[in-house]
Amino acid sequence: MQSAQILSPPSSQNVNSRERWLSVVVGSAVAAYGLSRRSIAGITLAGVGAGLVWRGASGFCAVYDALGLTTAAESDHDTSNVSVPYGRGVRVEQTVTIGLPPEEIYTFFRNFENLPRFMSHLKSVTVLDDRRSHWTTKGPAGSDAEWDAVIINEIPNELIGWRSVDGSQVDNAGSVHFKANPADRGTDVKVILRYDPPAGLLGAMTAKIFGEDPAHQVKEDLRALKMLLETGEIATTKGQPNGVPHRARLRERLAEVMR
């Protein structure tokens, strides 16, 4: 298994417009907070905030540059026929073994309206015709996103490839591959996703810090798919009793994370 990678070619302006705005807003807030602290640490924080503001204003990020990353590219005048051009966005690849023949898993997956049953961030998928479907997701921090996807490649019982159509809120492309294993070892199901995060790479990193790591999400979604197909249900403890009210447990969990 491979976790999320951030890929990009070199460029002089390397931050896209949405992310530049985010950078300015977050930077201003951090700077204001830093200055209000009236301490050495506060001044340092203010400096970091100012750096973010400058990053937003100039569209150039030294960190991205040092790491060879970019989110700018040709995002506003994309003429290629792929949703996420090679070398841009976030790439996720995860595999799970499911104890069923490829045909059964393929048939289940090919009906995209089944996807929200195991993909926790999908709200709904509506099939429009044989190749087109409309997807709605719960984005990070409660922000919804929707787009139309079109199947661009398909080999029955082996693979399905799709991408979002031009002008989508979240440019993305994905494929799922089914490979039968020898003897009684079931089928390897591999998912490859590539997407351009709405809030840029900064947003993607922020989401990661707050536990919304896309590689982890895809892995957990595949685990749920395996549970659903092998057993007919997805294991959960949500809704079971315990000796401390739910709200108090959440507070405790939060305190643990912040510590």
Partner 1 sequence: MKAVCWFGKTDVRVESVPDPKIINPHDAIVRVTLTAICGSDLHLYDGYIPTMMKGDILGHEFMGEIVEVGAEVKNLKVGDRVIVPFPICCGRCWFCKNDQWSLCDNTNPNAWMVEALYGFGGAALYGYSHMYGGYAGGQAEYVRVPFADINPVKIPDGLPDEKVLFLTDIFPTGYFAADNCDIKPGDVVAVWGCGPVGLFAMKSAWMLGASRVIAIDRVPERMRLAREACNAEVVDFEEVDDVYDVLKEMTGGRGPDCCIDAVGMEAHGHTADALYDRVKQVMRIEFDRAHVLRQALHCCRKGGTVSIPGVYGGFIDKIPFGAAFGKGLTLKMGQAHVQKYVHHLLARIERDEIDPSFLITHRVRLDDAPAMYRTFRDKQDDCIKVVMRP
CA 139 and chain centroid, separation: 9
* 8 Å CB contact between 12 and 207: no
240 in contact with partner 1 (CB under 8 A): yes
The interface with partner 1 within residues 93-112 (CB under 8 A) comprises 97, 99
Interface segment toward partner 1; rule CB under 8 A; list 51-59, 133-141, 143-151, 184-192 = 184-192
Least separation in angstroms between residue 239's CB and partner 1 is: 5
Task: Using alpha carbons, select from 151, 113, 153 the residue that is nearest to residue 132.
Answer: 151
Token representation of residue 172: 């993305």
Residues 6 or more apart whose Cβ sits within 8 Å of residue 214: 4, 90, 92, 193, 195, 204, 207, 208
Interface segment toward partner 1; rule CB under 8 A; list 3-11, 42-50, 105-113, 238-246 = 238-246
227 in contact with partner 1 (CB under 8 A): yes
Least separation in angstroms between residue 249's CB and partner 1 is: 6
Least separation in angstroms between residue 235's CB and partner 1 is: 5
Residues 6 or more apart whose Cβ sits within 8 Å of residue 231: none
236 in contact with partner 1 (CB under 8 A): yes
Given 66, 233, 257, 259, the residue binding partner 1 (CB under 8 A): 233
235 in contact with partner 1 (CB under 8 A): yes
Q: How far apart are the C-alpha atoms of 91 and 214, rounded to whole Å?
A: 9
Token representation of residue 227: 């549970």
179 in contact with partner 1 (CB under 8 A): no
Q: In terms of CB distance, is 111 or 120 closer to partner 1? A: 120
CA 66 and chain centroid, separation: 24
Q: How far apart are the C-alpha atoms of 62 and 15, rounded to whole Å?
A: 10
Sign of CA dihedral 42, 48, 50, 53: negative
Given 142, 167, 182, 232, the residue binding partner 1 (CB under 8 A): 232
Q: How far apart are the C-alpha atoms of 130 and 114, rounded to whole Å?
A: 15
Q: In terms of CB distance, is 40 or 235 closer to partner 1? A: 235
Least separation in angstroms between residue 190's CB and partner 1 is: 17
257 in contact with partner 1 (CB under 8 A): no
Given 66, 129, 239, 257, the residue binding partner 1 (CB under 8 A): 239
List residues near partner 1 by CB under 8 A.
Answer: 97, 99, 184-186, 216, 219-220, 223, 226-227, 230-244, 248-249, 252-253
